[in-house]
Amino acid sequence: MKIYITGATGYLGKYIKESLGENHEIFTPDLRNASAADFAQADVIINCIGKTGDGEKNVSYDSYLASNYNSVVKLYDFFEKSEASLLIHFSSIAAVEELMSDNDLNEDAPCNPISAYGITKRKAEEFLIEKMSSANKKIIILRPTRIHGPQDKGTIFQLFNFLKKGIPYPFASFNNIRSFLAIDNLIFLINGIIAKKEVIKSGIYNVNDDQGLSTLEIIDSFGEYGGIKIRKMFIPKFLFTGMAKIGDAIKLPFNSSTLGKITQSRIVSNDKIKTALEVNQLPFTAKDGLIKTVKSFNN
């Protein structure tokens, strides 16, 4: 098939391009300078464009809006005018919940985005949901949790580099579990969606590993598979809570939101996508993906 990927220069888009390129003809038009004619021959369009703001400071709301919403509106117009029968759009679990959930979040959970990133991702979802009712083509919105894999420079890599300096991990008193997504499981799911594009229903689908990972489990893997010495500090939780409240009051980078993202649990259900693709479990466990990711940091 002719598969068109936007945002193919980023980590996600590049990995999808390389993986799908083994069996399909891949095109990577630059949406900023593209016209409808550039997408006319597509069979499938995959949108990986998005601004997360990870590691960036002073990113304006308009910048998030341009990447996470305006680009989707523009691409949908091209999709509608093309031969493509399927649009796969990458949203984020942040469009639903950015901090915590002790129960499995499913696709029907009320949306509670709080950051410019989450709010603009949800805005794009609402635009595409509205189009689903009248479109005679398939629109699949994927909500991934944190994606990681070989050579990823995201959250897990940043934590690895932090602890590699010999700095003790200060939050060992917290034992949380969060859902992640190994890139190889994501590729498996995308291939499944493409293979079943005639029968899969338009809609929103969470995509994440079958199991969650605790932060302490991730840190221990740095020592076992990353070759660094791990030290942990078991500081009482109430001290961090107090510091976070002070951060809230005087607008410091370390605040309740920051503490929540580091220490709270967020568990996500992937039952809907597995049911749609008729699979009982994903090919790689969360631990498989984590080990592969951590081993790549020293390559």
How many whole angstroms separate alpha carbon 267 and alpha carbon 130?
A: 27
For residue 292, is it within any domain?
no
- Residue 231 has which token pair? 């030290």
pLDDT of residue 293: 96
Q: How far is CA 211 from the centre of its chain?
A: 16
Note down pLDDT in tens along the chain; length 299 residues: 999 999 999 999 999 999 999 999 999 999 999 999 999 999 999 999 999 866 566 789 999 999 999 999 999 999 999 999 999 999 999 999 988 887 899 999 999 999 999 999 999 999 999 999 887 899 999 999 999 999 888 889 989 999 999 999 999 999 899 999 999 999 999 999 999 999 999 999 999 999 999 999 999 999 999 999 999 999 999 999 999 999 999 888 788 877 887 889 999 999 999 999 999 999 999 999 999 999 999 87
For residue 241, is it within any domain?
no
For residue 237, is it within any domain?
no
For residue 234, is it within any domain?
no
For residue 230, is it within any domain?
no
Among all chains, which residue has been given the structure tokens 């590993």? 209
Q: What is the pTM of this model?
A: 0.93
Structural domains counted in the chain? 1
pLDDT of residue 79: 97
pLDDT of residue 164: 94
Q: Closest Cα to residue 10, out of 85, 71, 74, 79?
A: 71
How many whole angstroms separate alpha carbon 145 and alpha carbon 125?
A: 16
For residue 146, is it within any domain?
yes
- Amino acid identity of residue 162, one-letter, is F
- Residue 145 has which token pair? 């949790």
Nearest 5°: the CA angle 204, 207, 210 is: 135
DSSP string of the chain, one letter each residue: -EEEEESTTSHHHHHHHHHHTTTSEEE---GGG--GGGGTT-SEEEE------TT-SS--HHHHHIIIIIHHHHHHHHHHHSS--EEEEE--GGGTBSS-EEEEE-TTSPPB--SHHHHHHHHHHHHHHHHHTT-SSEEEEEEE-EEE-TT--SHHHHHHHHHHTTPPBTBTT---EEEEEEHHHHHHHHHHHHHTTTTSPSEEEEE--SSEEEHHHHHHHHHHHS-----B-B--HHHHHHHHHHHHHHT-SSSHHHHHHHHS-EEE--HHHHHHHT-SS-SS-HHHHHHHHHHHTT-
pLDDT of residue 88: 98
For residue 149, is it within any domain?
yes
pLDDT of residue 136: 87
- Amino acid identity of residue 276, one-letter, is A
For residue 59, is it within any domain?
yes
How many whole angstroms separate alpha carbon 134 and alpha carbon 127?
A: 12
Domain of 58, CATH number, reads 3.40.50.720
Structural domain range at position 125: 2-153+180-209+268-283
pLDDT of residue 298: 85
pLDDT of residue 54: 62
Q: Are 127 and 73 contacting, i.e. CB atoms less than 8 angstroms apart?
A: yes
